[in-house]
């Protein structure tokens, strides 16, 4: 299994500011995924980050709002830009496992963001 850490674990931010969330994996992975979970809701994929190329964004999410970096095979960042209270969510980083027996997808502990 992959061990994933995220920073910060939680933050309270003011409207109009930006927050960068870091995701670190203990092994090299090809794809890293960023999900958002709004309060009381399910998880929604924001984008897929592949090392060395532009992230692929899902419908409803744009690079200007959620810029992503993927400088190497173990690290990625997601920035939530020009925040509004609607951005208050848990943001989760995820990677696929490499067990070979079946496909797995592991999640980091999440970043709980509150925007005032």
Partner 1 sequence: AQKITQTQPGMFVQEKEAVTLDCTYDTSDPSYGLFWYKQPSSGEMIFLIYQGSYDQQNATEGRYSLNFQKARKSANLVISASQLGDSAMYFCAMRAPLLTGANSKLTFGKGITLSVRP
Bridge partners (DSSP) of residue 5 are 24
Give me the 36-75 binding string for partner 1, x by CB under 8 A, dash otherwise: -x---xxxxx--x-x-----x-x-----------------
Q: List the interface residues with partner 1, window 76-115 (CB under 8 A).
A: 90, 92, 94, 96, 102-110, 112
> What backbone torsions phi and psi does residue 15 show, to the nearest 5 degrees?
-50, 140
End-to-end CA distance of the chain: 36
Q: Which is nearer to partner 1, 1 or 82 (CB)?
A: 1
CA distance 45 to 80: 14
State phi, psi for 109 to the nearest 5 degrees: -70, -10
Among 23, 21, 19, which Cα is nearest to 2's?
Answer: 23
Nearest distance from C-beta of residue 40 to partner 1, angstroms: 9
13 touches partner 1 by CB under 8 A: no
Q: Give least dist CB 50 to partner 1, A.
A: 7
Residues of the shown chain interacting with partner 1 in the complex, contacts defined by CB under 8 A: 1, 30-31, 33, 37, 41-45, 48, 50, 56, 58, 90, 92, 94, 96, 102-110, 112
């Amino acid at each position: 299994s992959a061990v994933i850490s995220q920073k910060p674990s939680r933050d309270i931010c003011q409207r109009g500011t930006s927050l960068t969330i870091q995701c670190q994996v203990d092994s090299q992975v090809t794809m890293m995924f960023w999900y958002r979970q709004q309060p009381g809701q399910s998880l929604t994929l924001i984008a897929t980050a592949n090392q060395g190329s532009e992230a692929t964004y899902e419908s409803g999410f744009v690079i200007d709002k959620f810029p992503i970096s993927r400088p190497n095979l173990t690290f990625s960042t997601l920035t939530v830009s020009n925040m509004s209270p609607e951005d208050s969510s848990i943001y989760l980083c995820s990677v696929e496992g490499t067990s070979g027996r079946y496909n797995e997808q592991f999640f980091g502990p999440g970043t709980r963001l509150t925007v005032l």
